[in-house]
Amino acid sequence: MKCGEIASRPVITVTPDTPLEKAVELMADYDVGILVLVDKENPKRVVGVLSERDIVRSLAGKAPLTVPVEKLATTHSIIYVYADDPIEVAAEKMMKYGIRHVVVVDKEGGLHGVISIRDVLKRIGGLRK
């Protein structure tokens, strides 16, 4: 199975200037563990990711809820897979980097979706919903 087939849920995106408070609300409203930061001018261009772990570290460090997410998110060395990669590639990257989500991009590098560890386990680990 290909990563692009698994990344079927709509991706919840924000721009780098989105306040932390709004990002937290979106994660809660959509029940997701990661938000993808996209360029304001090109919403297919990934510029970062904001995970639950990033938020916990930020709040533990007393970051104000008004801080823009670009200050808290991973904006360098974003881990991704291509939509036509087999799911095993996503699993390997998650294990190698100790992450629970991986961004899926198309051949041109544009945002296609996100795969969670739960998605991988359902497909290759036999986890039931």
pLDDT tens per residue across span 66-78: 999 999 998 888 9
CB 74 within 8 A of CB 48: yes
pTM of the entire structure? 0.89
Structure tokens at 96: 């190698």
- Do residues 11 and 113 lie in contact, with contact meaning Cβ atoms separated by under 8 Å? yes
Over residues 69-90, mean pLDDT: 93
Q: What is the mean pLDDT of residues 35-61?
A: 95
Is 128's pLDDT higher than 70?
A: no
| Secondary structure percentages of the chain, helix, strand, coil, to 5 | 35, 25, 40
